[in-house]
C-alpha cells in the first residue's frame, strides 16, 4: 500500500489549510457566540471548489478523489467545525446522491448550481420520531398522478435555513414499508413549505439547524429521485458515503485540538520547565497523536474503497465510529492540558470539545455504527 499523497492531493490540502487559517479563523469565536452562519466564508468555499469536490466538472464540480475530500475536510474542521459540516452535507449527502442517482435533467437543474457553490443543499431524513431509523418515516408523499402532495415534519436539518434545494425522504405507500419510501428534490419557497426556528445548540453553533414543515406541498413527479420506492435504498447509500465526511470532520476537530494542545505544552511552564517535559502531559500528547493517526488511516481507507466502487458500509461506519470517539477524547484532553485557560473561549479548545460531541450523534449515533459494523461482520464471517 502506498501511503504517500500525490502532488495534487498535497496542493489541495495546503489550499484548504490556507483558506481555513486566513478566512475561517478570524471571527470563528464570534460566529460561535452569535450562532452566526458563515455566509461569506461558505461562498468563498464554493468558489474554491470545496462544495462539490468529487462531482464531475461537467456538472460544476471539481472532479477530485475522495482522499482529497478527506484532506480538505480535516483542514477546514481543524478551525471551524460549523463550516465543515456545511461542506460535508453539501458534498456527501446532497451532491453525491444527486450525481449518482438523478437523471440528466435533474443533474443540470439542481446538481450544477449545488456543486459549483452557487447555492447549498440540505438532506431531510430525520423526524421527531424517526432519527436514524429511516424505515419509520411519518412524512407522507401521496401520489396524485403528475405530482405528489407532501405533508410532515423533519427535524435537525443542517443547512435548514440557508439551503435552496432539499432532498426530502417521505413515505408514499405504508403497506410496502421501506419499499414504499421515496426521495424528492424540494425547492425553498414552494407553497406550504415552512422553515421552523433555528435550534440553539451545544456545538457547531455557526451552522444553522432547523425543523422543516410541509403542509400540502405540491412536488412535481419529475422531482422524484429514481424509480418509485427507491427512497430507502437512496438514503442508505447516501448515508454510507456521508459517514466519510463526518469521520473527516471528527478527525479535523481532533487534530486541531491536538495541535493547539501541543503548541501550548511547548510554551507553558510549570515547575521551572515547559509542561511537555512532564511525563503526565507528554503521555497525553503521545496517545492523542497515535489515535489521530489511526483515525486518519481509517478515513483514508474508506475514501480509497469508495473510489474503487467497493461496499463501504462497514469501513465507513468504522471510520465514523472511531474518529468521533477520538474527537471527543482528544478535545477533553486538550482542555485538560490547557488547564484553566482551556475553559476560556479565546483558547478555542472548549469550543472544539463542544463541537466534537455532535460527531457521535449525527449520520447515525455511535450505537448505530456498531449495529452496522456488527451486522457486516456477522454476514461476511
Q: What residues are annotated to the active site? A: 363
C-alpha cell at 130: 424517526
How far does Cα 264 stand from its chain's mean position? 29
Secondary structure letter of residue 130 according to DSSP: B
C-alpha cell at 336: 485538560
Question: Quick count: other Cβ atoms within 10 Å of Cβ 146?
Answer: 9
Secondary structure letter of residue 343 according to DSSP: G
Those residues with Cβ within 8 angstroms of residue 251's Cβ, 6 or more apart along the chain or in another chain: 70, 73, 74, 77, 292, 295, 296, 299, 323, 326, 327
Do the Cβ atoms of 140 and 69 come closer than 8 Å?
no
> DSSP secondary structure string, 334-369?
HHHHHGGGGGSGGGSHHHHHHHHHHTTTTTS-HHHH
Q: How far apart are CA 218 and CA 30, in angstroms?
A: 40
Within 211-344, residue ranges assigned H as helices are 231-267, 279-307, 313-338
Strands (E), the chain: 121-124, 140-143, 147-158, 165-171, 181-187, 193-198, 209-220, 269-270, 273-274
C-alpha cell at 260: 493547539
Question: Quick count: other Cβ atoms within 10 Å of Cβ 200?
Answer: 8
Amino acid at each position: 500500500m502506498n501511503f504517500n499523497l500525490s502532488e495534487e492531493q498535497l496542493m489541495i490540502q495546503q489550499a484548504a489549510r490556507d483558506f481555513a487559517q486566513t478566512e475561517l479563523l478570524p471571527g470563528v469565536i464570534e460566529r460561535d457566540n452569535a450562532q452566526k452562519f458563515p455566509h461569506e466564508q461558505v461562498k468563498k468555499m464554493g468558489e474554491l471548489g470545496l462544495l462539490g469536490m468529487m462531482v464531475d466538472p461537467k456538472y460544476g464540480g471539481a472532479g477530485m478523489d475522495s482522499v482529497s475530500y478527506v484532506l480538505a475536510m480535516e483542514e477546514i474542521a481543524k478551525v471551524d467545525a460549523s463550516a465543515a459540516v456545511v461542506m460535508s452535507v453539501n458534498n456527501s449527502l446532497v451532491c453525491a446522491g444527486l450525481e449518482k442517482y438523478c437523471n440528466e435533467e435533474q443533474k443540470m437543474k439542481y446538481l450544477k448550481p449545488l456543486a459549483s457553490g452557487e447555492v447549498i443543499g440540505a438532506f431531510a431524513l430525520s423526524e421527531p420520531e424517526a432519527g436514524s431509523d429511516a424505515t419509520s418515516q411519518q412524512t407522507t408523499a401521496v401520489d396524485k398522478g403528475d405530482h405528489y402532495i407532501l405533508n410532515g415534519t423533519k427535524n435537525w436539518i443542517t443547512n435548514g435555513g440557508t439551503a435552496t434545494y432539499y432532498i426530502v425522504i417521505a413515505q408514499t405507500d405504508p403497506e410496502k414499508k421501506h419499499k414504499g419510501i421515496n426521495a424528492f428534490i424540494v425547492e425553498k419557497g414552494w407553497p406550504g413549505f415552512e422553515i421552523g426556528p433555528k435550534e440553539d445548540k451545544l456545538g457547531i453553533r455557526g451552522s444553522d439547524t432547523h425543523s422543516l414543515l410541509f403542509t400540502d406541498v405540491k412536488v412535481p413527479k419529475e422531482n422524484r429521485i429514481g424509480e418509485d420506492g427507491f427512497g430507502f435504498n437512496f438514503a442508505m447509500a447516501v448515508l454510507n458515503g456521508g459517514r466519510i465526511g463526518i469521520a473527516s470532520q471528527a478527525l479535523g476537530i481532533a487534530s486541531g485540538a491536538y495541535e493547539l494542545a501541543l503548541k501550548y505544552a511547548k510554551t507553558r511552564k510549570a515547575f521551572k520547565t515547559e509542561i511537555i517535559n512532564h511525563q503526565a502531559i507528554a503521555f497525553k500528547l503521545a496517545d492523542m497523536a497515535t489515535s489521530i493517526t489511526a483515525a486518519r488511516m481509517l478515513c483514508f481507507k474508506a475514501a480509497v474503497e469508495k473510489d474503487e466502487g467497493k461496499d463501504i458500509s462497514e469501513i465507513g461506519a468504522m471510520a465514523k465510529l472511531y474518529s468521533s470517539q477520538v474527537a471527543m477524547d482528544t478535545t477533553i484532553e486538550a482542555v485538560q492540558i490547557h488547564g484553566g485557560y482551556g475553559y476560556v473561549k479565546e483558547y478555542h479548545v472548549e469550543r472544539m470539545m463542544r463541537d466534537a460531541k455532535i460527531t457521535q450523534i449525527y449520520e447515525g449515533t455511535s450505537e448505530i455504527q456498531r449495529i452496522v459494523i456488527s451486522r457486516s461482520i456477522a454476514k461476511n464471517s
